[in-house]
Amino acid sequence: MKQSSKGNNEIYRWQVLCVDDEPSILRSLRRLLPKQYYEVFIAESGQAGLEILKQQTIDLVISDMRMPLMSGAEFLEQVATLYPDTVRILLTGYADIDSTIKAVNRGRIHRYVQKPWDTDDLLSSLEQEMESKRLKLENIKLMSLVEAQNEELKELNSALEEKVQQRTEQIRKTLIDLQRSHQQVKEQVRAIIRVFYNLLSLKGTQGSQYSHEVSQLCLLIAKRFELSDFECMNIKLSGLLSEVGVLCLNDQISHKPQYYMNAEELVAYKKHAELAFKAMSPVVHLSSIALSVLHQFDRFDGKDNSSSLSGENIPLGARILAVARDYIYAIRGVSADLRYSAEGAAQLLMQKSDIIYDPDIINHLIQVIPDLHIEHLERNEKVVSTPKLESGMKLSRDVLTASNLLLLPEGHVMTWQTIKRIQSYVESSNEVLRIYVYSSQEDEVNATIN
């Protein structure tokens, strides 16, 4: 892959190897691939292709299936072993699906395309594969940055109270200096929030992945009340920064899924609300946000609340945050090892209305869910062991092996053939597969009754 810049945009020029024993096919592929995006190498046999791979860093290989001496499947199998990061595409000119499936499995092929190909479809497939590769490369760069930031965060945690106080004092002084201009103050506050949010994103906890969705839902609910735009925005920001105190927790707690925590660990985890309050409350323009974050775990009935607040004495922002946070966590599988549908998550929260949550806010939640433009499951999830698989069950997640190979894709509807295949795999590999499927209507009726 070669990179060049044009204006503010980076242009990737991918190196592609085309392998086919028919020169006319190779010429067609060379003409087809735009020169500004692809540098094309050609080989008339699998062995010649392997020689080129020794000399060039190839991003993508397109190989014909039927070639003398070494078939496309054999060639791509060697490519997968020697150059696993190279994208592999198979051209097949015959409809023998069994041979194609074997080729796909042996060469761990990313796609196969039948000849004669449709030009637009082929170009679109290449663009998709290269976009996926580009994202993976950028993810590697981001992970390096995350590791560097995590090292910095470890140092921060070693002297937490002192450093939080120092950072808060710096923010306070900055805001005092900017009081001469209201617009400058607003811009500075936004910058501070972005820093908190970026650091939280780099921390990479389960909850922080969905803080943007929590803030979006907070805003939708807040707009149902007679609040000013400023108050609505502060409630939205409380959702965005609801887990900022997690920055101050050790990795053993912050990265452990909530549904695996014991009672003691949950208490330690919820301390992040107090830590966030200490960090934000000295900043005048963040004080209402800090209060919402501090009281986000207060129960509506007041039981076990360290603040001694209950009912409407709990800040409105905190009551909205509690509902928005737990709804998003339910549909995203943060608070439990299963994800809920929109209806299932709403029913889950309704069961605790007037106990954990403000019933008025629960009613508003139900009204705004259609306006929450995020992906929802069609039904609740459940985990099924392989012996209990039944025809007609629909997968809610990919079925992956321990080595992360895809057995069945999300959305697949189980048949007796696929059940037999999965059970045979488990029996031969001695692996235990967690298979996530959508609940049936009967399951959801029983859950509602219970």
For the cut 90, the answer to whether the pLDDT of residue 259 exceeds it is no
In a domain, residue 389? The reply is yes
Question: What average pLDDT is seen over the chain?
Answer: 84
Q: Where are the beta strands (DSSP E) in 233-335?
A: none
105 or 358: whose pLDDT is higher?
Answer: 358
Q: Tell me: do 282 and 361 sit in the same domain.
A: yes
The one-character DSSP state at 205 is -
In a domain, residue 146? The reply is no
For residue 43, the domain's CATH number is: 3.40.50.2300
In a domain, residue 333? The reply is yes
pLDDT of residue 5: 43
Q: Using an 8 Å Cβ cutoff, are 75 and 49 in contact? A: yes
At 372-410, the pLDDT tens digits run 988 888 889 999 999 999 999 999 999 998 888 999 999
The one-character DSSP state at 245 is G
How far apart are the C-alpha atoms of 44 and 59, rounded to whole Å? 18
In a domain, residue 142? The reply is no
Q: Tell me: do 328 and 289 sit in the same domain.
A: yes
Q: Tell me: do 191 and 63 sit in the same domain.
A: no
For residue 234, the domain's CATH number is: 1.10.3210.10
In a domain, residue 21? The reply is yes
CA dihedral of 63, 64, 70, 73, whole degrees rounded to 10: 70
Q: Which residue, 428, 333, 416, 340, is CA-closest to 377?
A: 340
At 88-142, the pLDDT tens digits run 998 887 655 666 677 677 767 888 888 888 888 888 888 888 888 888 888 888 8
How far apart are the C-alpha atoms of 153 and 151, rounded to whole Å? 5
Structure tokens, 45: 């046999």
In a domain, residue 92? The reply is yes
pLDDT of residue 6: 46
Lookup result for tokens 């995350």: 146
Q: Tell me: do 30 and 104 sit in the same domain.
A: yes
pLDDT of residue 326: 96
For the cut 90, the answer to whether the pLDDT of residue 4 exceeds it is no
Tell me which H or E stretch contains 124.
Answer: helix 119-158
**Ranges of H-type helices in 204-336:** 211-222, 229-240, 251-254, 263-270, 272-280, 287-294, 316-332
- Region 57-67 average pLDDT: 91
Q: Tell me: do 388 and 438 sit in the same domain.
A: yes
For the cut 80, the answer to whether the pLDDT of residue 158 exceeds it is no
Give the rounded percent of residues in the chain with a pLDDT score beyond 90: 47
Q: Tell me: do 334 and 387 sit in the same domain.
A: no
In a domain, residue 113? The reply is yes
Range of the domain at 412: 381-449
For the cut 60, the answer to whether the pLDDT of residue 447 exceeds it is no
Q: Tell me: do 33 and 85 sit in the same domain.
A: yes
Q: Tell me: do 257 and 356 sit in the same domain.
A: yes
pLDDT of residue 256: 86
Q: Tell me: do 345 and 387 sit in the same domain.
A: no
For the cut 80, the answer to whether the pLDDT of residue 232 exceeds it is yes
302 or 250: whose pLDDT is higher?
Answer: 302
For the purposes of burial, counting CB atoms within 10 Å of the CB of 303, is it exposed (0-12), middle (13-18) or buried (19 or more)? exposed
Number of domains in the chain: 3
- Region 279-300 average pLDDT: 89
Longest dimension (CA), the chain: 81
Q: Tell me: do 223 and 358 sit in the same domain.
A: yes
Burial profile 15-40: b = 16 or more Cβ within 10 angstroms, e = fewer: bbbbbbbeeebbebbeeebeeeebbb
Q: Tell me: do 169 and 278 sit in the same domain.
A: yes
pLDDT of residue 445: 52
The pLDDT-based confidence of 446 (bands split at 50, 70, 90) is low
Give the dihedral sign, CA 46/52/55/57: negative
In a domain, residue 148? The reply is no
Question: Across-strand partners of 14?
Answer: 38
pLDDT of residue 185: 46
Q: Using an 8 Å Cβ cutoff, are 49 and 63 in contact? A: yes
pLDDT of residue 3: 59
Q: Tell me: do 334 and 190 sit in the same domain.
A: yes
